[in-house]
Amino acid sequence: MKAATRPYHHGHLREALLRAAEDALETGGARSISLRELSRQLGVSHTSPRRHFAGKEALLDALALRGFERFDEALGRAAGKPGQEFKSRLTKLARAYVGFALKHPALLSLMFDAKQRADAPEALRQASERAFGHAPAAFAEAQAAGEVVPGDPSRLALVLFSTLLGLVSMSTGGKVKGIPLDRLIGEIIDRTILGFRPR
Amino acid sequence: MKAATRPYHHGHLREALLRAAEDALETGGARSISLRELSRQLGVSHTSPRRHFAGKEALLDALALRGFERFDEALGRAAGKPGQEFKSRLTKLARAYVGFALKHPALLSLMFDAKQRADAPEALRQASERAFGHAPAAFAEAQAAGEVVPGDPSRLALVLFSTLLGLVSMSTGGKVKGIPLDRLIGEIIDRTILGFRPR
DNA sequence: ACCTGAACACCGTTCAAGT
DNA sequence: ACCTGAACACCGTTCAAGT
């Protein structure tokens, strides 16, 4: 009954810290994350995090990196396969993106802030680029089929993702001017396809 | 030689605090803002800010609010007048927006974070809506001239601004994949106008 | 290797007190 | 009204020490 009070976090303290930090992030914002408080929650001394992260900034960066990795997976699953209808693929990608953004708003904000920093780790930039690399494939295929204007496909995809990203930023609680984002996505996709259709 | 060491910040301590806080924000990020450090810089005791702001959060909110007010002014100047060419008005609005975003990246991030908070002050939401209210007028006029598809003009303007907002978020140091934002704006405007043209 | 406690230099906020 | 110093309960980070 006493020995049980010693989880000691053999190998997974790092994991536990990241998990607890993400909880705090979504609950009380980035400012509410405290290494000492996390240590208390996990029952380790306040200097233990130091073994796994060089400092608080490093923990936040690791959190952002994991965010990008999950983001990448979600978009990868939604990206679809060659041969599927262009509009349907874009719609799935868009819903995946918006879904992630609405589910983890504070994490997404942290991810972008971290990536923007002048001294951002290279891994962060790469993870971001990987995640945003799924849409261009769909555009390239549509170009080959003559449904979309020529040009760098990743630049075309950029326009769609920018729009969605901005839409989420301008929304409050998943709504813009009372209209749910879900309903706006279809409109955006239609306009995007129209704008990219060869004249 | 001694009396001069007593600025005492008669009435404008509030102003001075906001100014110093914005400097710190753009230099070292939101996390680098400290009430005590600001007080030190301004030569007042560390409890003086309390007279002007209920707490640190309140100071940050005030900073965000002023940001939205300046943002509103910048967009208002760029919005142009009825009778001017639609595309030229959009381009000016877009450049004004992107210009602000690149000049005050940390402030913009703070502005949106503050506005998004569940307990955000109403004034913040209103200031945001005011600032984003300039573009719809241009869209409404273009609709009257038959250059743009019918529908709620502020919803049409939303698409353009979302795209720009997202573009800035995805950029690093004013560039996306090595291409300066300035050069992308024209492309975005063209696509937007194309997408909104009556079929 | 991994974790610890003590120490240091900071925070934000509160409060009784001064002019 | 406006500002002050002391006090309180926190921080992140460093370091010598323990197993």
| Strand D atom within 7 Å of A50 CB | yes
Q: d(Cα B170, Cα B176) in Å, to the nearest integer?
A: 7
Task: Tell me, yes or no, whether B189 lies in a domain.
Answer: yes
Same domain, A47 and A84: no
**Which bases of chain D are under 7 A from a protein CB atom?**
2-6, 10-16
| Whether A196 contacts A148, CB under 8 Å | yes
Helix or strand or coil: residue A152?
coil
pLDDT tens string B110-165:
998 898 888 899 999 999 999 999 999 899 999 999 999 999 998 888 888 888 98
| Whether A121 contacts A107, CB under 8 Å | no
The tokens describing B87, both together, are 């595309």
Same domain, A42 and A104: no
| Whether B157 contacts B132, CB under 8 Å | yes
Same domain, B187 and B108: yes
Same domain, B39 and B126: no
Same domain, B88 and B143: yes
The least confident of A87-91, A177-181, B7-11, B52-56 is B7-11
Structure confidence at residue B74 (pLDDT): 97
Task: Tell me, yes or no, whether A4 lies in a domain.
Answer: no
| Strand C atom within 7 Å of B46 CB | yes
The pLDDT of A5-24, averaged and rounded, is: 79
Stretch (H or E) spanning A77: helix A56-78
Minimal Cα distance from A112: which residue of B?
B169
Closest nucleotide relative to residue A45's CA, C1' based: C4
Please report, rounded to whole angstroms, the spatial distance between the CA atom of protein residue B38 and the C1' atom of nucleotide D15. 31
Q: Does B195 touch chain A (CB under 8 A)?
A: yes
What domain range includes position B15? 10-53
The tokens describing B93, both together, are 């609005």
Same domain, A97 and A79: yes
- Chain B residues within an 8 Å CB radius of A195: 191-192, 194-195
CATH code, B15: 1.10.10
- Chain A residues within an 8 Å CB radius of B172: 115-116, 125
| Whether A191 contacts A142, CB under 8 Å | no
Same domain, B116 and B153: yes
CB contact under 8 A, B166 and A164: yes
Structure confidence at residue B3 (pLDDT): 33
Task: Tell me, yes or no, whether B3 lies in a domain.
Answer: no
CB count in 10 Å sphere of residue B151: 12
Residues whose CB falls within 8 Å of the CB of residue B102, separated by 6 or more in sequence, listed in order: B168, B174, B181
Instruction: Please determine, for residue B26, whether its predicted confidence score (pLDDT) is greater than 60.
Output: yes
- Chain B residues within an 8 Å CB radius of A177: 154-155, 158
Same domain, B88 and B177: yes
Count of domains forming chain B: 2
| Whether A197 contacts A139, CB under 8 Å | no
Mean pLDDT (chain A) is 88
Structure confidence at residue B10 (pLDDT): 60
Q: Tell me the nearest-neighbour CA distance from B8 into chain A, angstroms.
A: 31
The tokens describing A87, both together, are 């509009």
Q: Final residue of a domain: which of A53, A70, A86?
A: A53
Q: Tell me, what DSSP letter sits at residue A99?
A: H
Tokens 């996990």, residue located: A42
Same domain, A143 and A110: yes
Q: Please tell me the pTM assigned to this model.
A: 0.87
| Whether B171 contacts A165, CB under 8 Å | no
> How sure is the predictor about A8, in pLDDT bands with cuts at 50, 70 and 90?
low
